[in-house]
């Protein structure tokens, strides 16, 4: 993975890690905050509910206080003292109840018998122990069950009541009045709080008002065991708000993540661009291009690194130029020394032959003619040898640049092998030299056909000569392989192999295993392959023969066997 990609991925990973760590905590805190705010709002609404209920009780107390001091109640007490009570007394409670906003009012004698009832007129003369019990509460509000009649009969209903006493002579009249806890209270509290309000008396629901979307939070007002008011506050708004905030938060997180990715990419590109330029420059220098200069702008340590690298390339080119010049001089000095040595060897027999002829001529030797003919033959042989040395040296020194074209190595090797046929070493009965092709198709390269043919012919000739020297013959195996992105040609013989002391210097000029060899054939072959961006190598030592391997860059990947 490239450094730029690695840094960008690191920025993204850190951003994701930050989002993964922050978002849950933020959402949890936000949910808790919204929950607390809703609880506070419900608490405030319950305070208003309590105030409403207290105001309801205060209104009952005030109405009963006003009733206790009114002439109308005194008239009712005077009528109660008469025997028998006048008929007007039976309707007195109803007349006293409605103007004062009371929904429950009964007048009792001292024994608890109903003198008049505004909420249940039919109760006249009956004992009403439940309602009369409020007279024991000393003018305070108490929850009681009162009976009301409708089409289906009598039904108990919860109410908040209080009592007042009025004495007329020896006659005491009790007035017990208050307000019902019913659907009207539910409507009032629902309008106040916006909640769904239900009034229950035991298992029976007496009234409901308002709506509340699920889910809800339940709060209660209890006058156990008489009545209970249930208020359902909706949490849907809280959930909707939380979801809306969650969407907004996630959108912001996604935007932050995108910004982090963009910033990470820009920063990684800014950091890695000089590094990539340095890497490319180093690769080009390794390929032999020494005049490379990194132009990327950088800051800090990277700027110092770029400047140091550019200075290093300048110094490397200068050092390499000096080294190449020195090596070239040393190489040509070695070549000159070897050429001088090779030329000096033929000159010695030439000189000796001429001195012999001069001495024979000075003495008028009768064998002069025979000596001349013999010496002339020796001189001509040495001159031919000198000519071969000069020709080989000229070819080595002025080898033309290769003309590259697309070439199939299997086809080339097949055509070269058509020039060779199995033949005996020396005479019809001597061992044969044979040729074995192992040619894999698809080895496409760019090469100079003539130069590559020259290299293969030279290697095949060397293999033949090596096996001829043993007197045992053998097979020359020509193999073409396609391992990966390279094409390989192997020339293998079954000769005596290469002596260990010559293996390291075999491709140097004027190094040969043959007494009559010039030592330039393998050097020229190695140089040809080198100019094709390839390698000519001698295989590892074996018990029998030698293997020379040519490796060239391959154009295509096509495998087959032919």
Q: Strands, DSSP E only, in 86-170?
A: 104-108, 114-117, 142-150, 153-168
Confidence at 13, pLDDT banded by 50, 70, 90:
confident
For residues 372 and 456, the model is more confident at 456
Least-confidence region, from 15-29, 75-89, 185-199, 222-236: 15-29
Q: Which residues pair with 219 in a beta bridge?
A: 231
pLDDT of 374 reads 77
Span 304-358, pLDDT tens digits: 877 787 888 888 777 876 775 566 556 556 666 666 666 766 776 777 777 777 8
Q: Is 249 exposed, middle or buried (0-12, 13-18, 19+ CB in 10 A)?
A: middle
pLDDT of 240 reads 87
For residues 532 and 345, the model is more confident at 532
Q: Are 10 and 264 in contact (CB under 8 A)?
A: yes
pLDDT of 560 reads 40
Alpha carbons within 13 angstroms on the beta-carbon side of residue 232 total 14
Question: Is the pLDDT confidence value at 559 over 50?
Answer: no
Q: Tell me the whole-structure pTM to 2 decimals.
A: 0.49
Length of the chain: 562
Confidence at 562, pLDDT banded by 50, 70, 90:
very low
Region 433-452 average pLDDT: 91
Instruction: Name the pairing type of β-strands 423-424 and 227-234.
Output: unpaired
Report the alpha-carbon distance of residue 183 to residue 189 in Å, rounded.
Answer: 10
Least-confidence region, from 32-41, 107-116, 219-228: 32-41
Span 373-396, pLDDT tens digits: 777 877 787 788 777 777 766 665
Cα end-to-end span (Å), the chain: 40
For residues 424 and 41, the model is more confident at 41
At a CB cut-off of 8 Å and minimum separation 6, what does 182 contact?
A: 157, 158, 199, 206, 207
pLDDT of 41 reads 92
Cα 235 to Cα 35, 213, 243, distances in angstroms: 9, 7, 12
Q: Are 551 and 538 in contact (CB under 8 A)?
A: no
pLDDT of 153 reads 86
Sheet containing strand 104-108, edge to edge, reads: 114-117, 104-108, 171-180, 153-168, 142-150
Span 53-106, pLDDT tens digits: 999 999 999 999 999 999 999 989 898 888 888 888 889 999 999 999 999 999
For the record, the structure tokens of 74 come out as 């005194």
Angle at 267 between CA 261 and CA 271, to 5 degrees: 140
């Amino acid at each position: 993975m490239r450094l730029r990609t690695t840094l960008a991925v690191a920025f993204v990973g850190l951003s994701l890690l930050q989002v993964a760590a922050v978002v849950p905590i933020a959402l949890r805190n936000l949910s808790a905050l919204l929950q607390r705010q809703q609880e506070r709002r419900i608490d405030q609404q319950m305070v208003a509910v309590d105030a409403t209920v207290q105001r309801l009780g205060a209104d009952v107390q005030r109405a009963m206080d006003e009733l206790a001091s009114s002439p109308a109640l005194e008239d009712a007490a005077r009528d109660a003292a008469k025997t028998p009570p006048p008929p007007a007394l039976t309707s007195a409670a109803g007349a006293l109840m409605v103007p004062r906003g009371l929904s429950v009012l009964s007048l009792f004698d001292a024994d608890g018998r109903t003198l008049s009832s505004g909420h249940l007129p039919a109760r006249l003369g009956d004992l009403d122990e439940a309602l009369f019990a409020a007279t024991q509460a000393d003018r305070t509000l108490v929850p009681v069950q009162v009976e009301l009649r409708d089409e289906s009969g009598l039904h108990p209903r919860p109410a908040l009541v209080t009592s007042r006493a009025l004495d007329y002579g020896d006659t005491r009249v009790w007035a017990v009045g208050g307000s019902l806890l019913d659907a009207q209270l539910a409507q009032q509290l629902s309008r106040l709080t916006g909640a769904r309000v239900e009034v229950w008396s035991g298992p029976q629901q007496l009234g409901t008002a308002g709506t509340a979307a699920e889910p809800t939070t339940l709060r209660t007002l209890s006058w156990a065991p008489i009545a209970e008011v249930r208020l359902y506050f909706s949490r849907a708004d809280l959930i909707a708000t939380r979801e809306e905030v969650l969407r907004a938060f996630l959108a912001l997180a996604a935007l932050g993540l995108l910004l982090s990715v963009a910033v990470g990419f820009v920063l990684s590109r800014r950091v890695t661009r000089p590094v990539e330029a340095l890497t490319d420059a180093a690769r080009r220098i390794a390929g032999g291009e020494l005049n490379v200069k990194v132009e990327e702008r950088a800051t800090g340590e990277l700027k110092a690194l770029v400047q140091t690298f550019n200075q290093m390339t300048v110094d490397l080119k200068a050092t390499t130029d000096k080294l190449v010049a020195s090596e070239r001089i040393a190489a040509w000095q070695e070549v000159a020394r070897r050429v001088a040595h090779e030329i000096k060897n033929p000159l010695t027999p030439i000189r000796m032959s001429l001195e012999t002829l001069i001495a024979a001529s000075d003495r008028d030797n009768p064998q002069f003619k025979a000596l001349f003919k013999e010496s002339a033959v020796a001189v001509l042989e040495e001159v031919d040898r000198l000519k071969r040395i000069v020709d080989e040296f000229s070819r080595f020194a002025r080898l033309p640049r290769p003309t590259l074209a697309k070439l199939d190595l299997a086809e080339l090797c097949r055509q070269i092998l058509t020039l060779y046929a199995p033949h005996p070493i020396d005479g019809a009965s001597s061992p044969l030299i044979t040729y074995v092709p192992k040619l894999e198709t698809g080895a496409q390269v760019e090469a100079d056909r003539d130069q590559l043919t020259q290299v293969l012919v030279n290697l095949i000739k060397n293999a033949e000569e090596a096996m001829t020297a043993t007197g045992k013959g053998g097979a020359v195996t020509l193999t073409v392989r396609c391992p990966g992105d390279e094409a390989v040609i192997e020339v293998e013989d079954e000769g005596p192999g290469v002596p260990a002391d010559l293996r390291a210097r075999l491709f140097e000029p004027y190094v040969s295993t043959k007494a009559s060899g010039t030592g330039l054939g393998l050097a020229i072959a190695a140089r040809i392959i080198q100019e094709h961006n390839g390698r000519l190598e001698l295989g590892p030592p074996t018990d029998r023969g030698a293997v020379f391997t040519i490796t060239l860059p391959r154009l295509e990947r096509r495998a087959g066997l032919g």
